[in-house]
């Protein structure tokens, strides 16, 4: 295994080789760009099937067209990897509900293909799960090990992916699973803004168009939010720890939560956006309560997530805030 960059004696070893699936996407492209700038000595393999992401190059890293459902082609692309950041997925409740077979093939079969590669090669694995795996939380604060009880197909496919990794990692490879909170924010790759239709980003776009902000009833439902750049940084920290675990021949799964200390209600987010767009751009907009299409949505006025262990083991803490991000997006928008 060629994980260590420098031996204790100062003798150079082969650089760490990291492979990123879903590299053209919202998070994956940020991860690749950050790896390139912050771990320049590492070797990077970036792959994607371009189902959603469209970036074919990130800095000087070309994104290879590889579908994780095709095992032989996938394993060939991953050959030599010390760590696999498995970020490829059919993500989102609506997309998985509309394309259930595709969601299963990618989130379950594809994840199994990645995990089996790691079992065969001994490569470390980084795997994100969504809050969708939790379903309606049984208690707060939510921890990475919270019982899984998904309410939708997206959450169910991610839970099965988790279980596959847990079983295949035993006595074979080290893996880090992440329970990831609601994303927001954008980032730039080669002067191109990379974003996603998260609720906060959606509200900012509506505000810039001077359109009312639709808030699902009752509007008091809270969610925890974390910036895409903070998420990417957690994966880099995770890779650093995996390098050490690989050198120690560690195996098995460890779990971490990625979240911030901010869990505003949807109505509060809309109000922050409304106030910020008035101050930053002079645009006056309204918020409006609309029927909630999500009958089984969790309705709580606080959504705390415990991240102490993520801080202690990975040295990670969130650095971005909702209001600062909203103001930055409003200032940078054309």
Q: Residue 6: pLDDT above 50?
A: no
Q: Each residue of 58-111: pLDDT tens digit?
A: 999 999 999 999 999 999 999 999 999 999 999 989 999 999 999 999 999 999
Judge if 84 and 63 occupy the same domain. yes
Residue 308 belongs to some domain of the structure: no
Judge if 37 and 141 occupy the same domain. yes
Look at the block and give the residue holding tokens 């994303």.
183
Backbone angles phi, psi at 176, to 5 degrees: -115, 120
Q: Residue 3: pLDDT above 90?
A: no
What CATH number does residue 208 fall under? 3.90.25.10
Judge if 161 and 191 occupy the same domain. no
Judge if 154 and 38 occupy the same domain. yes
Judge if 84 and 216 occupy the same domain. no
Judge if 202 and 122 occupy the same domain. no
Q: Could you list the residue range(s) of the whole structural domain that residue 217 is in?
A: 187-223+261-303+320-332
The pLDDT of residue 297 is 84
User: Burial level of 205, CB count in 10 A (0-12/13-18/19+)?
Assistant: middle
pTM metric for this prediction: 0.94
Range in 19-28, 184-193, 224-233 the model is least confident about: 184-193
Judge if 157 and 73 occupy the same domain. yes
Band (295; pLDDT cuts 50, 70, 90): confident
The pLDDT of residue 224 is 97
Q: Quote the mean pLDDT of the chain.
A: 94
Domain count, the chain: 2
CB 105 within 8 A of CB 69: yes
Residue 61 belongs to some domain of the structure: yes
User: Burial level of 101, CB count in 10 A (0-12/13-18/19+)?
Assistant: exposed
The pLDDT of residue 291 is 95
Calculate the alpha carbon distances from 147 to 8, 104, 136 in Å.
41, 21, 10
Name every residue whose Cβ is closer than 8 Å to that of residue 297 and which is 6 or more positions away in sequence. Answer: 216, 221
Alpha-carbon distance 333 to 10, whole Å?
48
């Amino acid at each position: 295994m060629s994980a260590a960059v420098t031996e204790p004696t100062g003798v150079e070893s082969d650089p760490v080789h990291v492979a990123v699936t879903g590299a053209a996407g919202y998070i994956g492209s940020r991860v690749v760009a950050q790896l390139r700038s912050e771990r320049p000595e590492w070797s990077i393999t970036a792959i994607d099937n371009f189902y959603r992401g469209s970036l074919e190059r990130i800095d000087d890293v070309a994104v290879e067209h590889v579908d994780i459902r095709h095992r032989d082609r996938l394993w060939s692309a991953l050959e030599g990897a010390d760590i696999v950041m498995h970020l490829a997925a059919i993500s989102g409740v609506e997309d998985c509900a509309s394309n259930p077979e595709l969601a299963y093939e990618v989130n379950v079969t594809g994840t199994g293909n990645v995990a089996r590669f790691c079992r065969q090669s001994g490569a470390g694995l980084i795997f994100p799960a969504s809050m969708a795996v939790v379903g309606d939380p049984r208690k707060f604060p939510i921890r990475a090990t919270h019982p899984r009880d998904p309410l939708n197909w997206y959450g169910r496919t991610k839970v099965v992916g988790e279980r596959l990794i847990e079983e295949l990692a035993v006595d074979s490879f080290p893996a880090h699973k992440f329970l990831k909170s609601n994303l927001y924010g954008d980032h730039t790759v080669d002067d191109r803004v990379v974003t996603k239709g998260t609720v906060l980003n959606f509200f900012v776009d509506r505000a810039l168009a001077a359109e009312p902000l639709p808030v699902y009833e009752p509007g008091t439902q809270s969610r925890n939010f974390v910036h895409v750049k903070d998420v990417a940084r957690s994966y880099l920290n995770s890779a650093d720890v995996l390098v050490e675990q690989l050198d120690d021949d560690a195996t098995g799964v460890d779990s971490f939560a990625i979240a911030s200390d901010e869990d505003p209600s949807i109505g509060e987010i809309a109000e922050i956006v409304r106030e910020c767009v008035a101050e930053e751009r002079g645009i006056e907009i309204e918020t409006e309560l609309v029927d909630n299409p999500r009958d089984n949505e969790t309705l709580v006025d606080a959504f705390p997530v415990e991240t102490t262990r993520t801080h202690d083991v990975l040295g990670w803490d969130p650095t971005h805030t909702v209001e600062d991000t909203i103001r930055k997006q409003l200032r940078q928008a054309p």
